[in-house]
Structure 1
Amino acid sequence: MDVLVKLLHELGSNQYHDEQYIGGMIMPRLGIGLDCCVIPLRFGGLSLLQTTDFFYPLIDDPYMMGKIACANVLSDLYAVGVTECDNMLMLLGVSSKFTEKERDTVIPLMIHGFKDSAEEAGTSITGGQTVLNPWCLIGGVATTVCQQNEFIMPDNAVPGDVLVLTKPLGTQVACNAHQWLEQRNDKWNRIKLIVSEDEVEKAYHDAMFNMARLNRTASQLMHTFNSHGATDVTGFGILGHAANLAKQQRNEVNFVIHNLPCIAKMSAIAKACGNMFGLLQGTSAETSGGLLICLPREQAAKYCAEIKKVEGNQAWIIGIVEAGSRTARIIDKPRVIEVQTLEDGTVQSVPPTTTPRRTIKPNVEQQKPMLPEIQNQPNNNLQQQHPQTQQVTNIIHSVQQQQVMQQAPSVALLTPVTMHDQVQQVIVQDPQQYQHHQQMQQFQNHHQ
C-alpha cells in the first residue's frame, strides 16, 4: 500500500484535505487515496462521485466472476454511503490465449453476470471498453451525481466509536486453497491434514457468494445509524484499509481491531501456511469484501440488528476507535470468529457443533429470564485479557443483549454458547429471509 501511495503522490494524494468554494458553498473534495473521488460541480451544490476498478479472474465460474467484478466496482460508492449509481461502464480484456470456443463461452457469461449484478443494484451499463489482452480481465466504472446529504465523508470518527465489518475475511485463502485442491500440489499436501476436501469446497463457494453480494444494504443503513465514515475491504486487507481510513480522520484517533470474522477453516489454513497470506495479521488481500464502518457505540447494536433483519446476514463488531495518532493495529492474538453460509443462504457465525443447545419458543416472557444469565455468564479468560480486549468484549456483550431485546418478539433464541472464550448467542433466522438463497438459486438455474 505504501508503494502505491508513493507512486500516486504526484497526482495529488493529499487533495482529500482540500475544500472548494463552489456555488456559494464550501464543498469537501475526496480524491486519490480513498475509495472514490468526490468532485464538487458548479451546478447547484451537486457533486460527481466516480470510481473504477478491474482485476483478473480468481474463480472458475465466469458468470459469478462477472457478478463479483460488478459488486466490487459498486462497493467504492457504497463505502461513502451512496446507494444509487446513475451509470456504469464495463472494462473487459479478452485473453488472446483463448480458443474461439473458450472465448465464445466465457466472455458472454462474464458479461451476463456483470449485467445481472448491475440490474440488482438498480443501474445499467451504457458502454465501456473491450480489448484483446494476454490476460483475461474484467472491471468497470461507476458514476453518480449527488447532493451533499447523499454521501458520507469518511473523516468523522471520534474516540469511543465502534468498528463494524459486514462481510467475513478469508476470500484469498479460500480461492487459493481451492486451486491447490484441484492441482493436488505440494501446498495441498501441506494443508490436507487440517482441512477436508468438502470443507475447502464449502469455503470456496461461501467466498464466491460473499464476493458477489452487494454492499448496498450496508451502505443504506450507514445513513440511518449515523455512520462517521467507512471504507470497503479489498486488496490491502483489513489492516491496510483500516490504516488508510484512519489517516484521513479529522480527529486524532487510532483504530484498534480485536476480532477477525473469517470464513470457516481459513484461519487454520493460514496458520498452516505460515505468513503466506497474512490473514491473522490483517494483510491478506480480499476481493469485493465488506464495509468497515465507524459507528457511534450506541448505534452499533441497532445497525447490526437491522442489517440482519433486512438481508439476513450477520455483521460483526471487530474493534474500537480510541484517541491516538491516526494509525490502525490488530491486537496480539485477536479473536477469530468462524463464519459460514447456512442452509437458508444467510451468512452467520458458526456455533461449536459439540455444544449442546436447546430451542426456546419465541415468547417474550420466556426470553426475558435468560438475559441476566447471558449477562452473568462466566468467562475465565476475561481477567487475563488486555484492558482494551476487556473493553471491546464489554461492548460486544452490550450489543448482543440489545439485539436480543430488539429481536425477542420475532425470533427463537438458543442457549448461550462459548466460542473462543467469548459468550455469544445464536439467533434462528426468519425463514422468509432468503435474499442470499435466491441469488444462489439464480446461479444454479443459470447452469442447468
Structure 2
Amino acid sequence: MGEKIVFCKGGGCTAKLGAGILNRVLEKLPKGPKDENLLIGYDSRDDAAVYKVSDDTAFVQTLDFFPPMVDDPYTFGQIAAANALSDIYAMGGEVKTALNIVCFPETMDLNILGEIMRGGSEKVIEAGGTLAGGHSIQDSDVKYGLSVTGLVHPDRIYSNNGGYPGDVLILTKKLGVGIVCTASRVQEAKEEDMKEAVSSMIQLNKYASEICRKYEIHACTDVTGFSFLGHLHEMLDGRLSAEVIAEQIPVISGAADYANEFLLTAAGQRNRNHVGPYVEFEHVPFAMEEVLFDPQTSGGLLIAAAPDQAERLLVELREAGLPASAVGTLTEKKEKEIYVRGQR
C-alpha cells in the first residue's frame, strides 16, 4: 500500500482554476463567426455546450477530469465519472456516449488504473450511456475523467440563467464534501462522515434530473468547484438577486465542525474572494459561510422551480431518497446579489 499516499494528494473540483482567473482568459479568446445552431457555448458560463442538429434534437457536450480526492482508485473512478456526467443532467439531457480521459504515471501499478476505469465504466453504464473509447497520456500524477455527449430537445434545455423572481431554489445534495475530504486527508475526519461524503459524490444526478422533467424548471446548474454561492452567482446572471435561508441548507455531517477547525481548501478561499463581494451574510456562523464557499466534487443540482410546483417537486425528490431541500428564492435585482440569512 506504499502508493496510497502518493495516489491521493488532494483533488476533485478543488483542483479547478479560480473563476476570476478563468474569466479573464476566456473573455480574450477570439469568438469566430457566430453559429446559429450553437444554442449554448462557453460565453454563457453554463454547464455544457448545446448544439442544435434538428428541430427536435440537440447534442450536449461536456468534459471534466481531475486528480484523486480519495484513496481508493475504484471509488475515485466512480466519483470522477459521476461528476463529468452531471453536466449533461444539469442541462436536462440524457447521456449517450462517454470517452475516458486518463493521465497516469508509467511507474505506478496498472491495476490501480484498471480499478479507476472500472469505477468510471460502471457509472457510465448506470447513466444509460456507452463508453466509446478515450485517450491516455503518461503523467507524473494521476488524473481521470470523461468527455460526455448527451441529447436534449432544443425546447427543453435547462440553462443556468433562465430563472424568474419568485422561483424557489431547490438543492438536491448536501454541501461540504470538499471540507470533509480535506479533513480526511489529514486524518481528522470521522469515518462515518467521509462515508457520507463519498456516498454523495458517487450518486448520479440522473434521478433528480429525470424527476425535474415532470415540472416547470426555469433554470438549473450543478454545484461543483465554484461552490454553492459561486454557481448561484452565475445563475443570477447580473439581473436577479436571491434570498438564501442558511438553516435549510443540507450539510454533510461533520463539515461545519471541520470548518471551525480551519480544515479548509485554498479553492474555497478563492471562491470567497471571487463571490464574497456579491454576498451579504446576516447572522450566519463562520462555519456555514465556509460550507457555502466550499468547492463541491460531484455536487447536486441547484434548481430554480416555478413557485406553484416547487413543493410537489421537492416531495418527489425526497421520495426518491434524495436529501433535497428548498433553500431560498429568486427575487428582483437588489442592492446586493445574494442575501444569506441565519437565525438571530
Aligned residue for 2:116? 110
Structure 1 stretches of 5 or more lacking a match?
Answer: 182-187, 189-196, 336-384, 386-448
Using the alignment, how far apart are the partners of 1:79 and 1:326 within structure 2?
A: 29
Aligned residue for 1:254? 241
Aligned residue for 2:199? 209
Using the alignment, how far apart are the partners of 2:304 and 2:59 within structure 1?
A: 24
Tell me which amino acid in the other structure corresponds to 1:280. M
Q: 1:321 to 1:130 in 2, by over 3 A?
A: same
Aligned residue for 1:280? 288
The alpha carbon displacement at 1:69 in A equals 0.9
The alpha carbon displacement at 1:81 in A equals 1.1
Q: 1:12 to 1:288 in 2, by over 3 A?
A: farther
SS in 2 for 1:228: strand
Equivalent pair of 2:92/2:152 in contact (CA under 8 Å) = no
The alpha carbon displacement at 1:129 in A equals 0.4
Does 1:55 find its partner at 2:70?
A: no
Does 1:93 find its partner at 2:103?
A: yes
Using the alignment, how far apart are the partners of 1:224 and 1:291 within structure 2?
A: 16
User: Superposition pairs for residues 335-414 of structure 1, below 5 Å?
Assistant: none
Equivalent pair of 2:46/2:159 in contact (CA under 8 Å) = no
Tell me which amino acid in the other structure corresponds to 2:21. V
Aligned residue for 1:192? none
Tell me which amino acid in the other structure corresponds to 2:133. G
Equivalent pair of 2:240/2:331 in contact (CA under 8 Å) = yes
Q: 1:34 to 1:254 in 2, by over 3 A?
A: same
Does 1:175 find its partner at 2:154?
A: no
The alpha carbon displacement at 1:96 in A equals 4.1
Equivalent pair of 1:78/1:216 in contact (CA under 8 Å) = yes
The alpha carbon displacement at 1:150 in A equals 4.1
The alpha carbon displacement at 1:299 in A equals 1.4
Using the alignment, how far apart are the partners of 1:244 and 1:12 within structure 2?
A: 22
Q: 1:301 to 1:7 in 2, by over 3 A?
A: same
Equivalent pair of 1:66/1:109 in contact (CA under 8 Å) = yes
Tell me which amino acid in the other structure corresponds to 1:38. V
Using the alignment, how far apart are the partners of 1:202 and 1:275 within structure 2?
A: 19
Equivalent pair of 1:246/1:326 in contact (CA under 8 Å) = no
The alpha carbon displacement at 1:280 in A equals 2.6
Using the alignment, how far apart are the partners of 1:96 and 1:285 within structure 2?
A: 30
Does 1:6 find its partner at 2:29?
A: no
SS in 2 for 1:280: helix
Of 240, 256, 265, the match for 2:254: 265
Using the alignment, how far apart are the partners of 1:257 and 1:176 within structure 2?
A: 26
Deviates more, 1:161-170 or 1:252-261: 252-261
SS in 2 for 1:128: strand
Equivalent pair of 1:54/1:138 in contact (CA under 8 Å) = yes
Q: Deviations over 1:359-414 (max 9, x none)?
A: xxxxxxxxxxxxxxxxxxxxxxxxxx5xxxxxxxxxxxxxxxxxxxxxxxxxxxxx
Identity of aligned residues (%): 27
Does 1:72 find its partner at 2:89?
A: no
The alpha carbon displacement at 1:284 in A equals 1.1
The alpha carbon displacement at 1:155 in A equals 3.0
The alpha carbon displacement at 1:275 in A equals 6.7
Equivalent pair of 2:159/2:221 in contact (CA under 8 Å) = no
- The CA RMSD measured in Å over matched residues stands at 2.5
Q: 1:52 to 1:225 in 2, by over 3 A?
A: same
The alpha carbon displacement at 1:166 in A equals 0.4
Of 231, 234, 245, the match for 2:224: 234
Q: 1:66 to 1:235 in 2, by over 3 A?
A: same
- Work out the number of aligned pairs and report it: 302
Structure 2 stretches of 5 or more lacking a match?
Answer: 1-18, 270-286
SS in 1 for 2:95: coil
Tell me which amino acid in the other structure corresponds to 2:307. R
Aligned residue for 2:9? none
Using the alignment, how far apart are the partners of 1:213 and 1:207 within structure 2?
A: 10
Q: Which has the higher contact order (CA 8 A, sep 6+)?
A: 2
Rg larger in structure? 1
Of 29, 53, 59, the match for 2:40: 29
Q: 1:221 to 1:270 in 2, by over 3 A?
A: same
The alpha carbon displacement at 1:258 in A equals 1.8
Normalising by structure 2, report the TM-score: 0.81
Does 1:313 find its partner at 2:322?
A: yes
Tell me which amino acid in the other structure corresponds to 1:208. V
Q: Deviations over 1:46-66 (max 9, x none)?
A: 322100000000001111111
Using the alignment, how far apart are the partners of 1:294 and 1:326 within structure 2?
A: 21
Equivalent pair of 1:247/1:327 in contact (CA under 8 Å) = no
Tell me which amino acid in the other structure corresponds to 2:72. D
User: Superposition pairs for residues 122-141 of structure 1, below 5 Å?
Assistant: 122-141=128-147
Of 143, 151, 154, the match for 1:148: 154
